[in-house]
Amino acid sequence: MLPRHSTYSRGYDDHFKFTTSQKGRPMILASGYKFGIHRVRSPKTYWYCHNASQGCHAIIHTLADMTIIKCYNI
């Protein structure tokens, strides 16, 4: 079982970096882990951990203006 990435309080924005991948896709970096877009359902965007295939269940939810509203297992 993979350890959780880390634990954060509600001050999400200080711990995350919004960037793009080498292919130009949006990406979030958090504690050395990469998150890609899983689905978009207006106004929310759901992000998954790139290590999901290895059992990671971390998820991030953002609004259209990239405000982080929820984090699971991070």
Q: What is the CATH number of the domain that holds 52?
A: 2.20.25.240
Binning pLDDT at 50, 70 and 90, where does residue 34 land? very high
Residue 9 in this model has a pLDDT that exceeds 80? no
Place of tokens 């999400």: 12
pLDDT at 73: 87
Q: Is residue 4 part of a domain?
A: no
Q: Does residue 43 sit within a domain?
A: yes
Query: Residue 30 sits in which domain range?
Result: 12-72
DSSP state of 67: -
Q: In the prediction, which pLDDT does 38 show?
A: 96
Q: What's the rounded mean pLDDT across residues 2-20?
A: 62
Q: What is the mean pLDDT of residues 43-72?
A: 93
- Asked if the structure places residue 61 within a domain, the reply is yes
How many folded domains does the chain comprise? Answer: 1
Q: Region 35-62: what's the mean pLDDT? A: 94
Going from the C-alpha of 71 to that of each of 5, 22, 23, 24, 65, the distances in angstroms are: 11, 24, 25, 24, 16
